[in-house]
Amino acid sequence: MMFWNDKPYHALDYALKKRFGEKIYRLALNGGMTCPNRDGTVGFGGCIFCSAGGSGDFAADPRLSIPAQIRSARERLGNKRPADHYIAYFQAYTNTYAPVSYLRSIFMEAISAPEIVLLSIATRPDCLGAEVLTLLEELNRIKPVWIELGLQTMHEDTAAFIRRGYSLPVYEDAVRQLRARGIEVITHVILGLPGENRTRMLQTIQYLNTRDIQGIKLQLLHILKGTDLATLYKQHPFPVLSLEEYVQLITACVEQLRSDIVIHRLTGDGPRDLLIAPLWSRSKRQVLNTIHQEFRRQNTWQGKYYRKH
């Protein structure tokens, strides 16, 4: 296990400080888009775990202009997290699912702000047509662009169950197309999906080691009010990960993950007013502290592959 800035994994904060020489925070923006898995193009209702906010529950108000959203997001950070530069993060729903002219307008507004040093766009791999890819390549020549793809799992049976709406080859082709244009790819993985045991979850990590990706977000499954997953959980309760199980799983994922892949997230925090389970996840700080304590307990901070940067 390598060492990055006092963490036994290739952490995002370390990678950003190395790249930009300073602390960088994300500003969660909202382009006001929907998703083909909601409007009937691919399916209706979205993925079974997705909230009404389209995974952008903490994003800015879409009724505001992009410059106004940036100002609002900066104000929310305030003195608590002072910074001079930020990532413009289009988070809610599918952020390449709109006419290219509209995408060009909002993305250019974002990267034109002097305080924005990087553009991060969450989308689906089946929403990256030729014109969109050309636009992303153009934007990437102005400021760095990250594309975040919600894979969640490599297993096709689980993908069908959660209504992901595309097959694994679609993801693989999207990664190839993006990398051919020099665009960095971050992949989202959900741990604890129904029917997935430790072996299957680690197989997803091992699979991603073979892909040309630059970052990963590891996300605990949250059961949120108003989702189809919540209905399923109520009607047919299924086991959710305990804190101990999740911590053990995360350390195993980190141990097996390719060392050059930047870890953008080790867990997540669903909206407190929507969270049904697991309730222990409400305290993100406590979860992260417990994970780091487990790294220390396993002595991986001074392990076989120790190297301090």
pLDDT confidence of 219, banded at 50, 70, 90? very high
Strand partners, 3: 308
Q: Residue 307: its pLDDT value, please? A: 40
Q: Comparing 129 with 307, which gets the higher pLDDT?
A: 129
pLDDT in tens, 145-157: 999 999 999 999 9
d(CA 277, CA 282): 9
Q: Residue 305: its pLDDT value, please? A: 39
Q: Residue 6: its pLDDT value, please? A: 67
pLDDT confidence of 127, banded at 50, 70, 90? very high
pLDDT confidence of 54, banded at 50, 70, 90? very low
Classify 280 as helix, strand or coil. Answer: helix
How would you class 244 by CB atoms within 10 Å of its CB: exposed for 0-12, middle for 13-18, buried for 19 or more? exposed
Contact 92, 50 (CB under 8 A): no
For CA atoms 94, 27, 227, 218, give the dihedral sign.
positive
Host H or E run for residue 139? helix 130-140
Checking if the pLDDT of 79 tops 80, the result is: no
The mean pLDDT of 258-262, rounded to a whole number, is 94
Checking if the pLDDT of 1 tops 60, the result is: no
Beta-carbon contacts of 61 under 8 Å, excluding residues fewer than 6 positions away, are 30, 69, 72
Q: Comparing 306 with 66, which gets the higher pLDDT?
A: 66
Checking if the pLDDT of 78 tops 80, the result is: no
Checking if the pLDDT of 282 tops 60, the result is: yes
CATH fold of 12-280 reads TIM Barrel (3.20.20)
Q: Is the peptide bond before 278 cis (omega within 30 degrees of 0)?
A: yes
DSSP character string of 165-196? -S-HHHHHHHHHHHHHTT-EEEEEEEES-TT-
pLDDT confidence of 3, banded at 50, 70, 90? very low
Checking if the pLDDT of 160 tops 90, the result is: yes
Domain boundaries, the chain: 12-280
How would you class 50 by CB atoms within 10 Å of its CB: exposed for 0-12, middle for 13-18, buried for 19 or more? buried
pLDDT in tens, 163-196: 999 999 999 999 999 999 999 999 999 999 999 9
CA 119 vs. chain centroid, Å, equals 14
Contact 204, 189 (CB under 8 A): yes
Q: Residue 229: its pLDDT value, please? A: 95
Prediction pTM value: 0.91
Strand partners, 122: 148
Residue 20 DSSP symbol: H
d(CA 164, CA 220): 17
